[in-house]
Amino acid sequence: MNFRRRNNSIVDMLFILALFAVFMISALFIVLFGARIYKKIVADSDTNYNARTSIAYISEKIRQHDSDNGVDVLEDGAEPILRLRDTYGGMDYYTYLYELDGNLMEITTPADYDPVYTAGQAILKVSSFNVEKQSDALYRFDITDEYGNEVDFYITAYSRTENL
């Protein structure tokens, strides 16, 4: 017997090439499917971040200003504005939350000044921001983020819950 030399046939070579091609195609599909899944996870994460951030931010602002006449909804043209009142050193200040140019904006001014809305600080990218006063203590918010995902939630001002 001759163990040193083996007859190589074209079939052996084609089998090895076919096996290698199947391996490469399988690896390519796994990478492509993984990239698609990763992209979807990142998009869902962005959506959840925007929703949670807007809810948490607005809820915290209302909780900070939860007092008599501390929270109010204004209409400036067609756009609703959430106005929050603070008192520092005997002076009243208003903080306004509103949507402008695709951003949730915030600006704080003394109570006797008219706010310049374009001078506000951008908080979060949104395509729409709507707030409605449902009752003396209940506010309804409807926010659409930059991707078109809508978040609808209610917040209660606890200092005025006896009027619900």
* Share above pLDDT 70 across residues of the chain, in percent, rounded to a whole number: 91
Structure tokens belonging to residue 58: 């607005």
Work out whether the CA dihedral 9, 15, 16, 18 comes out positive or negative. positive
- Average pLDDT for the chain: 87
Buried b / exposed e over 87-112, threshold 16 CB at 10 Å, is eeeeeebbbbbbbeeebbbbbeeeee
49 or 77, which is more confident: 49
pLDDT, tens digit (0-9, with 9 covering 90-100), for 36-52: 999 999 988 888 888 88
Q: Are strands 138-145 and 103-110 parallel, antiparallel or unpaired?
A: unpaired
- For the question of whether the overall pTM of this predicted structure is more than 0.85, the answer is no
pLDDT of residue 7: 65
Domain boundary assignment for the chain = 43-163
pLDDT at 160: 59
